[in-house]
Amino acid sequence: MRKVALPLLLCCALVATGLWARRAAARAWDALTRYDSPYALDNGLAQARPRTAQTRHVVLVLVDGLRDDASRGLPFLDSLRAIGADIHSHAGTPSLSLPGRATLLTGAWQEVHGQMTNFSPRPVAVGHLFDALHRAGMTGALAAGAATHTLFGTGHLSVVLAYPHHGGPGAPDFSAYERELHDAAASARTMLVRDRPNFMQIDLSITDEAAHAWGANSDEYRRAARLADGEIRAIAATLDLSQDALVVTADHGHLDVGGHGGSEPEVLDIPWVMAGRGIVAGARARGEQIDVAPTLAVLLGVEIPAMAEGKPLLDALTLSPAERAEAWRALAAQRGRSYARLYHVIGRTDAPPPDPDDVVTIPPMTDSAHIAHLDAAVARWRAAREARERSSRVPLAAALALLPLGLLAVAWRAGAVSGSEIGHAALGTVVALAVYGVFFRAAGLGYSFSDVNAEERLPAFFGRAMALAVACGAVGVAAATWWRVRGAERAGALALARLGLGVAAGTAYAFGVAALATHARYGVVMHWEVPNVFWGFGFYLDTLSLMAVAFMAPVLALLAVGLGRLRPAT
């Protein structure tokens, strides 16, 4: 009776575990795609700003998906580098298009501005550069796709140009991408010349389209970059760089095979070139994507966005000592208020929250050191909260990981399962995991958003991961069954079913331990920060693979019975 009860209990336990895994994966995914930033803070409070604009007009050209290395060697962009500032910039994660655009104009990383993915665009939760322009009585314009307009709204925009959506089924067509580029750029130039906004952002998407279709190591991608370079030249021709400034950057890069969203260097390393009025010729620097908005705010003489985490790259700007001190004071004022908000969200127990008025009443010569002190304090708070949360997750994760081993030990001591059964199931599990590791990359899988290449391919990507896990489980069952029946004694159907369930349980357990380890170390349900994106994406794959193997455990048990019956009688 016990020999029958055990496989029934194990089968029920596996199905229940599969349901738990599905819920865990769905909860983590929803937390990412529906993340609500707790840092919401707009530019509603009056704060100090540089009193002097450094330039008449600023045009920001965003070349979607342009890698830093691919930008070098483009004739016009290199000519801008020669007369202006060349900054090696670094994007944030998830390195997707809408999050990158939000970061550029808020100066805040994804966990702060709230737009985590390209799904469900919505207004950013914090102040942005268009807000600051509106408060200063200046004009802003945006030429981009409809989703980008959703991020920043239209209430604070003086001029709006929404590119039509070109997409849908069918093979990629470079000539269509080229026509789209020329039409969009021509419309943007017309708006720029006609309305002369103080600040305008122009999006060019052909490089991203080419990378998704053919990869970033393709002739098509290089051709797309050259075409974008030509359109930047045409935009510059409408400006007077003795009075105006032109800024060129990207939202993210691409893998050689196409794809972004992860933390690979070729995805995160992006160009940032500035030339014209207010820019130091020959300036060379390293920066972050969060530094763009504060730098543009100083150029334009407007407030730094309220929750900006970056700093203006003052060494790249032609500032007098007085103007430089003004910029530091503006940053100190912004940091004072964002510092208080960060304290409220992240939390601290060993000091009272700061008084924003105290933060900004400091001599100009100490501003840079004071801001560094504030940023270091925020880093300490972050590390302390991460440590607290990690210590609260580890005991439960460890208990869940050890529970199946404890139950197995109890079953073995009670005689419900033999040592040879455990050994055969362990052999099958090892084979299943080894085959999974060998074929993981061959199946087009990886622990990165970048491996997906396009959002619409996510369901197929996750489906391949689950199918591979089940297929490898089947290989493990076959190996264990062969080992079990290789002798002269014929195995019974019940024993073979128990073996198949044992291999399924072992394989599911391995995926579960990997998921629990990720959860214990990084956390996978977002509340206030982005977990490690590499391990976070791996968590989805592990939980989905666990779910698939657990749900298919009865089938794997039947497979073991069938394979065992194939052995000829002796």
- Identify the DSSP state of 52: S
pLDDT at position 167: 54
Strands 269-276 and 245-249 turn out to be antiparallel
Contact 152, 201 (CB under 8 A): no
Q: Got the DSSP string for 168-227?
A: -SS---HHHHHHHHHHHHHHHHHHHHHH--SEEEEEE-HHHHHHHHH-TTSHHHHHHHHH
Exposure class string for 532-564: b at 16+ Cβ within 10 A, else e: bbbbbbbbbbbbbbbbbbbbbbbebbebbbebb
- Predicted pLDDT of residue 365: 39
Cβ neighbours around 295 below 10 Å, total: 27
Contact predicate 62/203, CB 8 Å: yes
Residue 399: predicted pLDDT: 98
Q: Distance (Å, rounded) from C-alpha 153 to C-alpha 133?
A: 14
Report the pLDDT value the prediction gives residue 48, as an integer from 0 to 100.
58
Please state, in angstroms and rounded to a whole number, the distance separating the CA atoms of residues 151 and 102. Answer: 7
Size of the chain in residues:
570
Taking the complete model, does pTM exceed 0.75, yes or no?
yes
Q: How far apart are CA 249 and CA 5, in angstroms?
A: 64
pLDDT of residue 532: 87
If we measure between CA atoms, which residue out of 555, 479, 481, 551 comes closest to residue 511? 551
Query: Could you tell me which of 473, 495, 470 has the C-alpha nearest to residue 567?
Result: 495
pLDDT at 260: 97
Q: 23, 96, 24, 91: which is closest to 448 by C-alpha?
A: 96
Which residues belong to CATH 3.40.720.10 in the chain?
A: 58-384
Rounded-to-5 percentages of helix, strand, coil across the chain: 60, 10, 30
Tokens 């998704």: give the residue.
212
Average pLDDT along the chain, 570 residues, taken 10 residues at a time? 76 94 94 92 60 91 99 99 99 98 98 94 95 94 95 84 68 92 97 97 98 98 99 99 99 98 98 98 98 98 95 97 91 88 76 50 56 86 93 97 96 92 97 98 95 91 97 98 80 92 98 97 91 92 98 97 76
Is the dihedral angle over the CA atoms 209, 210, 213, 215 positive or is it negative?
Answer: negative
- Selecting from 3.40.50.10310, 3.90.230.10, 3.90.1150.10, 3.40.720.10, what CATH number does the domain 58-384 have? 3.40.720.10
Residue 376 CB coordination number (10 Å): 10
Short-list 517, 516, 462, 456, CA closest to 117: 456
Give the angle 54-59-61 at the CA atoms, nearest 5°: 140
Report the pLDDT value the prediction gives residue 301, as an integer from 0 to 100. 95
What pLDDT is stored for residue 155 in this prediction? 78
